[in-house]
Amino acid sequence: MRTAPTILHLDMDAFYASAEQASKPSLRGKAVVVGGIGPRGVVATASYEARVFGVHSAMPIGQARRLAPNAAYLVPRFRLYREVSEQVMGLLRELSPLVEPLSLDEAFVDLEAGEAAWDAASARLVGERLRDEIKAVTGLTGSVGLAASKMLAKIASEEAKPDGLVLIVPGTERAMLGPMSVRTLPGVGPATGDHLRRAGITTVEEIAEAGEDELVRLLGKSHGASLYAMALAHDDRPVVAERDAKSVSVEDTYDVDIHDRVRVRTEVQRLAERCVQRLRGAERSGRTVVLKVRRYDFSTLTRSETLRGPTDDPAVVREAAARLLESVDTTGGVRLLGVGVTGLADYTQEDLFAQARAQAEADAHAAEGVREGEAEGAGGAGDEGQAAEDEVVEAADRRWVAGRDVRHEQFGHGWVQGSGLGRVTVRFETPYSEPGRVRTFRTDDPALVPAEPLPLVEGGAGRCAAREPDVGSGVV
Residue among 308, 314, 304, 312 at smallest CA distance from 286 = 312
For residues 115-129, one letter each, b for 16 or more C-beta atoms within 10 angstroms of the residue's C-beta and e for the rest, the string is ebbeebebbbebbee
Q: What is the DSSP string of 22-37?
A: HH-GGGTTS-EEEE--
Residue type for position 301: L
**Helix 78-95 and helix 15-23, axial crossing angle in degrees, nearest 10:** 110
Catalytic machinery residues: 106
**Which helix (H) or strand (E) segment is 404 a member of?**
none
Residue among 248, 254, 247, 249 at smallest CA distance from 383 = 254
* H helix intervals, 282-397: 314-325, 349-366, 372-378
Cβ-contact 440, 423 below 8 angstroms: yes
At a CB cut-off of 8 Å and minimum separation 6, what does 467 contact?
Answer: 452
Tell me how far apart the alpha carbons of residues 211 and 51 are, in angstroms, rounded to a whole number: 37
Tell me how far apart the alpha carbons of residues 439 and 476 are, in angstroms, rounded to a whole number: 32
Tell me how far apart the alpha carbons of residues 117 and 114 are, in angstroms, rounded to a whole number: 8
Tell me how far apart the alpha carbons of residues 165 and 169 are, in angstroms, rounded to a whole number: 13
Cβ-contact 21, 32 below 8 angstroms: yes
Tell me how far apart the alpha carbons of residues 344 and 287 are, in angstroms, rounded to a whole number: 7
Neighbours of 177 (CB within 10 A): 23
At a CB cut-off of 8 Å and minimum separation 6, what does 418 contact?
Answer: 402, 424, 425
Q: What is the DSSP string of 30-72?
A: S-EEEE--STT-BEEEE-HHHHTTT--TT-BHHHHHHH-TTSE
Strands annotated E in 365-446: 405-408, 412-420, 423-428, 437-442
Residue among 142, 147, 146 at smallest CA distance from 131 = 142
Question: CA Rg, the chain, in Å?
Answer: 25
Tell me how far apart the alpha carbons of residues 111 and 217 are, in angstroms, rounded to a whole number: 38
